[in-house]
Chain A
């Protein structure tokens, strides 16, 4: 098992970061009438961990006995029948799913499947826990229609079903859905907190950490706990005992983006644009999300620029990323950004150096 999973705290009392949130959550579910919850925060901040620990707090260890199912549904959509396929993770008390996986048909998932699940009240002979929990991941990726479809379901069946929604940016969750939940913000852990977690894992694994080593990993982690733990484990595999000048491995795709940025800075020409396109395409075909590529590219380019150009470049990055959202083919918009950058930069070079 990877360390990220092995050392994922299982109960609210055992978390290392977000202890305050964990204690609050514990109090929140002390009665049976807890409102719906919306967890939001950057990826790798610990949302999922808290949600699982919360479920355990509510229902006991049985929520950890999950089965993964790939289910097929036939949905009657007026004139035609749709075949929907979705993976669910469920225990006797909860079901976890990722409705946005259904793409533009996500509305049907909410209308048919989630509503059905919400309606059916679990029959518990002991009559104790009279409701179940639906965990919906990535709700910020749901279409507006799908989000609207959630609204009444959240009210109508609130006695039999509690929703826990999870997302990165709560700006993308509609006002009406946010108004129906208690919003719980999970911030990315500070570097010191990441160091605490790494040192904890180091102790458990019986490792010697040179001073400052954990801090170096934390610094490179972009405040993502998952990322930090993963690269800690990679370091362990690459070289142990650790040394202070040991290289903290970067992600392959980031190294690649850095390379693209250098290519762009070295030459601004149609030919170079074409080469860059090929490289971006390769990243995309490796499933790196386009907005992540664009943001990283901006990050690398900004580092190399004079202040006066930075404003303009970040403006265009925002502009083309927005267009990318509205469009279909991400590559066009990343390429347009690169072309724009080349033209600005070349203009700058000519006006400065002639």
Chain B
């Protein structure tokens, strides 16, 4: 039996880069951090960007490379959204950790700079109060600690914290970079992916490498070692073009009952409505026989519906509203309703 720990991890974890230099596509960060490894100098850092672009990976990798396995525990504090990070934790846990002086001992060949690192992953889920409480801590211990903030949305980090950090945006991975990484995994796992499948994979995962790896593993388990483009589409759950097209046609037809039926069908099929709306958007944007004004009207509603969905509104009702609005725009029916009684 193979060593359990290794073999039983999903591929995303198995192929998480352990060294900063292996992080793909995020050149600026990698340059700065490689420099850090040489000079042991490091500012506070703020990493932000969409899911699966390497933020957590980079932060963990640099921490491991700076301290090595022995010092890691005493020098690095990782707090993420799975930990309670209310004000009290910030005040006590972080302070306690930061306050203990660091020794100058070195272990092995690691740089072991004379400061500690506090990684606050998923920092956008911290309350504003907790972030404010951090300001003082950061200043008090600035000589002996470095903070790494990681988040998806930089706007959720309060300005006083953000301005204390060197900011790095993690870009969605480009197709070529994604292809390289995927090709590497394929050769390690003995998979065979033709160029078409490769390009499908990068287009459906939209710059999120984690997603790409998960799809790849899914497809490998379901369809064996030789993977086709269609296999990947099946695994990814992308909504087939016909479904979006059918919905559009009912809107175009001007028949409310037809649209209502199609919307019910979409819901029964379980397609995520936010996804349907975004694919419907892509479809309509490219149409020549729809005027700019009609498009503007349709997209305005789509934006509103998207916001409502994020607030937790019902998927069926929002999609029906979008469809009904699109129908009115496409068939030049009256658009606005008086908004108050």
How far does the Cβ of A77 sit from chain B's closest Cβ, in whole Å?
Answer: 7
A34–B316 alpha-carbon span in the complex (Å): 32
A311–B305 alpha-carbon span in the complex (Å): 15
Q: Does A48 contact B (CB under 8 A)?
A: no
- Kindly identify, within residues 128 to 153 of chain B, every residue whose CB is under 8 Å from any CB belonging to chain A: 152
- Interchain CB contact under 8 A, A127 and B214: no
Number of A-B residue pairs, CB cutoff 8 Å, is: 198
- Interchain CB contact under 8 A, B51 and A175: yes
Surface stretch bound by B, among A88-96, A234-242, A254-262, A315-323: A315-323
Q: Does A19 contact B (CB under 8 A)?
A: no
Chain A contacts for B287, CB-based, 8 A: none
Q: Does A328 contact B (CB under 8 A)?
A: no
- Kindly identify, within residues 210 to 236 of chain B, every residue whose CB is under 8 Å from any CB belonging to chain A: 210-211, 214-215, 217-218, 221-222, 235-236
- Kindly identify, within residues 41 to 88 of chain A, every residue whose CB is under 8 Å from any CB belonging to chain B: 41-42, 45, 77-79
- Interface residue from A32, A78, A310, A318 paired with B89 (Cβ < 8 Å): A78
- Interchain CB contact under 8 A, B316 and A295: yes
Chain A contacts for B87, CB-based, 8 A: 78
Q: Count contacts on B: residues with CB < 8 A to the other chain.
A: 72
- Interchain CB contact under 8 A, A311 and B328: yes
Shortest Cβ distance from A143 into B: residue: B312
- Interchain CB contact under 8 A, B80 and A188: no
A139–B83 alpha-carbon span in the complex (Å): 19
Q: Does A232 contact B (CB under 8 A)?
A: no
Q: Encode contact with A along B305-341: 1 for CB under 8 Å, 0 otherwise.
A: 1001101111111101100110110000100010001
Q: Does A155 contact B (CB under 8 A)?
A: yes
- Interface residue from B82, B121, B320 paired with A110 (Cβ < 8 Å): B82
- Interface residue from A153, A291, A314 paired with B320 (Cβ < 8 Å): A314
A181–B12 alpha-carbon span in the complex (Å): 10
A36–B51 alpha-carbon span in the complex (Å): 16
How far does the Cβ of B222 sit from chain A's closest Cβ, in whole Å?
Answer: 5
- Interchain CB contact under 8 A, A45 and B221: no
- Interchain CB contact under 8 A, B56 and A155: yes
> Helix, strand, loop or mixed for chain B's interface?
helix
- Interchain CB contact under 8 A, B317 and A295: yes
- Interface residue from A33, A108, A156 paired with B10 (Cβ < 8 Å): A33
- Interchain CB contact under 8 A, B256 and A318: no
Per CB-CB distance, the 3 closest pairs between chain A and chain B, nearest first, are: A78-B88, A41-B270, A152-B80
- Interchain CB contact under 8 A, A318 and B125: no
A153–B235 alpha-carbon span in the complex (Å): 24
16 contacts between A and B (CB under 8 A): A28-B222, A33-B7, A40-B270, A130-B8, A151-B81, A171-B309, A172-B309, A183-B236, A187-B268, A294-B314, A307-B256, A315-B321, A315-B337, A317-B320, A318-B321, A322-B313
Chain A contacts for B328, CB-based, 8 A: 311
A302–B333 alpha-carbon span in the complex (Å): 18
A179–B215 alpha-carbon span in the complex (Å): 10
A244–B102 alpha-carbon span in the complex (Å): 84
Chain A contacts for B267, CB-based, 8 A: 42
A322–B318 alpha-carbon span in the complex (Å): 9
Show the binding face of A for B, using Cβ within 8 Å: 24, 27-28, 30-36, 40-42, 45, 77-79, 108, 110-112, 115, 127-128, 130-131, 144-145, 148-153, 155-156, 158-159, 169-172, 175-176, 179-188, 223, 291, 294-295, 298, 302, 307-308, 310-312, 314-319, 321-322, 325-326, 339-340, 343
- Kindly identify, within residues 4 to 26 of chain B, every residue whose CB is under 8 Å from any CB belonging to chain A: 4-5, 7-14
- Interchain CB contact under 8 A, B324 and A314: yes
Q: Does B274 contact A (CB under 8 A)?
A: yes
Q: Does B260 contact A (CB under 8 A)?
A: yes
How far does the Cβ of A39 sit from chain B's closest Cβ, in whole Å?
Answer: 10
- Kindly identify, within residues 74 to 133 of chain B, every residue whose CB is under 8 Å from any CB belonging to chain A: 80-84, 86-89, 121-122, 124-125
Q: Does B237 contact A (CB under 8 A)?
A: yes
Given A185-B271, A312-B337, A314-B321, verify A179-B211 contact (CB < 8 Å): yes
- Interchain CB contact under 8 A, A295 and B222: no
A182–B11 alpha-carbon span in the complex (Å): 12
- Interchain CB contact under 8 A, A77 and B86: yes
- Interface residue from B51, B89, B272 paired with A176 (Cβ < 8 Å): B51
A223–B217 alpha-carbon span in the complex (Å): 32
A45–B333 alpha-carbon span in the complex (Å): 37
Listed residue (B4, B10, B124, B337) with the most chain A CB atoms within 10 angstroms of its CB: B10
- Interchain CB contact under 8 A, A169 and B315: yes
- Interface residue from B221, B268, B313 paired with A34 (Cβ < 8 Å): B221
- Interchain CB contact under 8 A, B125 and A148: yes
- Interchain CB contact under 8 A, B317 and A326: no
Q: Encode contact with A along B223-266: 1 for CB under 8 Å, 0 otherwise.
A: 00000000000011100000000000000000010001000000
How far does the Cβ of B204 sit from chain A's closest Cβ, in whole Å?
Answer: 12
Given A158-B9, A175-B51, A310-B256, verify A186-B270 contact (CB < 8 Å): yes
